């Protein structure tokens, strides 16, 4: 049981290619490479072991970086453990991905620096997250608490005005 999340570079109804160089550098930093698996690829380490978090094999997939179509990715049954969430956040920043959350609320999560304020949500609500911790908070069922936290950080208190 867990979250299904999709990673894609979209703005409005337009789909763009991911930052392939950023994704390649990310995979290199983590000493991972891709192994084709049907229409996508699984990530494995140098010994050929599948990507895992806290001892459990991940169902995180990323299109092959050498394909001609735009590169996208997804994770099935995400647990949102600290380790997994940091990996997802950093992967999405490296690839310039928006995270689409089919569970809803928020429907889209935009990692820091991926898009500016001109981003147009292709599906419903959007949360702008600037760290893996914010991503985890926004997805953990505490979206309203997350929005309140963001309002407190972004909006000065009366003493600060």
Chain segment 30-69, per-residue pLDDT in tens: 999 998 876 678 888 889 899 999 888 899 999 999 999 9
pLDDT tens per residue, range 86-133: 999 999 999 999 999 988 888 888 898 777 666 666 667 888 899 999
What is the tally of structural domains in the chain? 1
pTM of the model: 0.82
Residue 23's domain spans which residues? 3-160
User: Which tokens is 52 given?
Assistant: 């895992």
**Angstrom distances, CA of residue 144 to CA of 5, 89, 111, 140, 151:** 20, 20, 18, 11, 11
Cβ contact 88:14 at 8 Å: no
């Amino acid at each position: 049981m867990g979250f299904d999340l999709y990673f894609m570079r979209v703005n409005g109804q337009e789909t763009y290619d991911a930052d392939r160089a950023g994704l390649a550098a990310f995979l290199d930093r983590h000493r991972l490479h891709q192994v084709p698996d049907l229409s996508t690829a699984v990530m494995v380490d140098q010994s050929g072991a599948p990507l895992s978090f806290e001892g459990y094999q991940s169902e995180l997939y990323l299109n092959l970086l050498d394909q001609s179509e735009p590169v996208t990715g997804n994770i099935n049954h995400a647990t949102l453990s600290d380790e997994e969430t940091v990996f997802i956040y950093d992967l999405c920043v490296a690839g310039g991905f928006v995270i689409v959350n089919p569970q809803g609320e928020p429907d889209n999560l935009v990692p820091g620096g991926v898009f500016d304020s001109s981003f147009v949500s292709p599906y419903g609500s959007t949360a702008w997250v600037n760290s893996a911790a914010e991503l985890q908070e926004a997805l953990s069922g505490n979206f309203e608490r997350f929005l309140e936290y963001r309002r407190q950080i972004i909006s000065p208190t009366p003493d600060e005005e």
